[in-house]
C-alpha cells in the first residue's frame, strides 16, 4: 500500500482510468496551487520528495536542494521527470539552487 507505482511489477492493474487521465494531464497537481498561495510551495523549485524517498532526500542534501521551498515544477522535471535517475534529479535540483 505504500509502494511507489513505478516499483510495482504490473502498475497498470492498480491504476484506474480516471487516475491515468489525471496523471497524464497532470490535473492531480492542481491542489498544490493552494500550497503556492499559502506560501509553503513555490511555482518553480525541487519537487517535494515522498516521505519514503530516503535516497532522493539524502542525495539532494549534498546539493542543498532540501533547504529551499519545494516547487510545483522544477529543473529535474523539465529534464525528464520520472525518466531521470535519482542522482541526476538531485544534481538538477542542486543546479537550480546554485543559480537561483
pLDDT tens, 7-64? 788 888 888 999 889 988 989 888 999 999 999 999 999 998 888 889 999 999 999 9
CA dist 29 to 47, 71, 93, Å? Answer: 11, 11, 19
Q: What is the pLDDT of residue 11?
A: 83
> Under a CB-based contact definition with an 8 Å cutoff, are residues 41 and 35 in contact?
yes
Beta-sheet pairing, 42-44 with 71-73 = parallel
Res 81 pLDDT > 80: no
What pLDDT, on a 0 to 100 scale, did the predictor assign at position 1?
63
pTM of the full structure: 0.74
Amino acid at each position: 500500500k505504500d509502494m511507489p507505482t513505478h516499483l510495482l511489477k504490473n502498475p497498470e492493474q492498480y491504476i484506474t482510468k480516471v487516475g491515468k487521465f489525471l496523471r497524464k494531464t497532470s490535473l492531480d497537481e492542481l491542489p498544490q496551487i493552494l500550497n503556492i498561495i499559502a506560501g509553503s510551495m513555490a511555482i518553480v523549485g525541487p519537487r517535494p520528495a515522498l516521505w519514503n524517498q530516503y535516497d532522493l532526500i539524502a542525495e539532494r542534501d549534498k546539493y542543498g536542494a532540501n533547504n529551499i521551498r519545494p516547487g510545483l515544477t522544477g529543473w529535474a522535471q523539465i529534464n525528464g521527470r520520472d525518466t531521470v535517475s535519482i542522482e541526476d534529479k538531485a544534481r538538477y535540483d542542486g543546479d537550480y539552487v546554485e543559480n537561483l
